[in-house]
Amino acid sequence: LRHVITDVQSVHTWMMERSNGVSQTHPLLQELRGILALLKSTNREVADGDYHLVPLCETLERVLRTGLKQPNSLFGLNKQDYWSWIEPLQDYYFNQKQNPLLRQLVSQIANSPKLHTPQGRGRCFIRRALCQKLISVPVEHLAANKRLTSYWYGTDHSIVGDPLLIKELMSILFEVTEIDFQLDVNHCSFLDETWIIPVYMSVSLQPVRELGVKVGHTDHRVLITEVDKDSMAYQAGIQPGYMLDELCGETVYNFAGGKLKHILERNAESTDIVVVKQNLPDGCPFHPILRRQQLAANQTSPISPATESRIHSGVPQL
């Protein structure tokens, strides 16, 4: 909400200045240039945890959302996002040479079982495109197709749809590709909710029928509520409050306890587990887990039907 209010105020000021011939650039592009200058000044590769990484990604996202139209969105349903045009972009190439790396990247993201919303897929694309130096490619191809550009973006308030601003944006994106990004592109389960990448822990145990943990199912996720101190899970460092992300190579999302037990029972070689810790490296709580812990704690209190539908009662033993 803070970003939305700031963007509206900044754009209003920019439009007034532009109409008076004072300013030709856009406040979001100015912000993007400022972040880019800070990243380049460090003269090192950018990794997760870099202070300027999230602001860069957030600003890129706001740029791509500014002036984005909502075709085929009846009464606000089926809301479109920038991923909505990035995904099918390869189908609109005419005389342009297709980029096989871009096609492969888009296909991998579209088929990932860890991503469930256009927002999550778009964010995953931005992160992986930064690493592969492809961040300018989809914008470049969209801008080359004026009909497609006008389908997705207006000209009054957008950056991508403005003939002058798109050139400045492309110049910035080309500069971004000069920076080396080394990001964790495998762990993307929470990009649907946040740009923050939490702390993941992977453990491999001997084949077991029971992990010795109790879990709760809250808002599509599996939260570890208890860990038996005599279990291999405890010895491996798994603690209550962690969230189960993968079990034996399968992404755990909307999984009931019975399905989790079935995965354990059919596993013969090893029990591989990926969990998400409840705290970030600086000790602050990871908000998506904290929110689910609070939801789970409210099971004993009167809750609304909407909240109740997101919480599965009971604590299955794994």
Q: Helix (H, G, I), strand (E, B), or coil: what is residue 298? A: helix
What string of DSSP letters covers 101-160?
Answer: HHHHHHHHHHT-TT--SHHHHHHHHHHHHHHTT-TTHHHHHHHH-HHHHHHHB-SSS-ST
Q: Are 131 and 182 in contact (CB under 8 A)?
A: yes
| Cβ burial 123-162 (10 Å sphere, 16+ → b, else e) | bbbbbbbbbbbbbbbbbbbbbebeebbeebbeeebbbbbb
What count of other Cβ atoms lies within 10 Å of the Cβ of residue 39? 22
- pLDDT score recorded for residue 309: 34
CB 264 within 8 A of CB 202: no
> Averaged in consecutive runs of 10 residues, what is the pLDDT profile of the chain (318 residues)?
52 50 78 96 92 97 95 72 94 72 95 95 98 96 92 90 95 96 95 96 86 88 93 93 92 79 77 94 95 82 40 51
CB 16, CB 156: distance < 8 Å = no
pLDDT, position 98: 74
Considering only the C-alpha atoms of the chain, give the largest distance between any 2 of them, rounded to a whole number of Å: 73
Which residues 6+ apart lie within 8 Å of 78 measured at CB?
72
| Pairing mode, strands 46-47 and 181-182 | parallel
List, in sequence order, every beta strand (DSSP E) within the chain: 46-47, 181-182, 200-205, 213-218, 221-227, 243-247, 250-251, 271-276, 311-312
Residue 212 CA to residue 204 CA, distance in Å, equals 15
Q: What distance in Å separates the CA atoms of residue 170 and residue 174, rounded to the nearest whole number?
A: 6
The end-to-end CA distance of the chain, in Å, is 40
Region of residue 7 (phi > 0: left; psi between -120 and 50: alpha; otherwise: beta): alpha
* Pairwise CA distance, residues 244 & 264, whole Å: 14
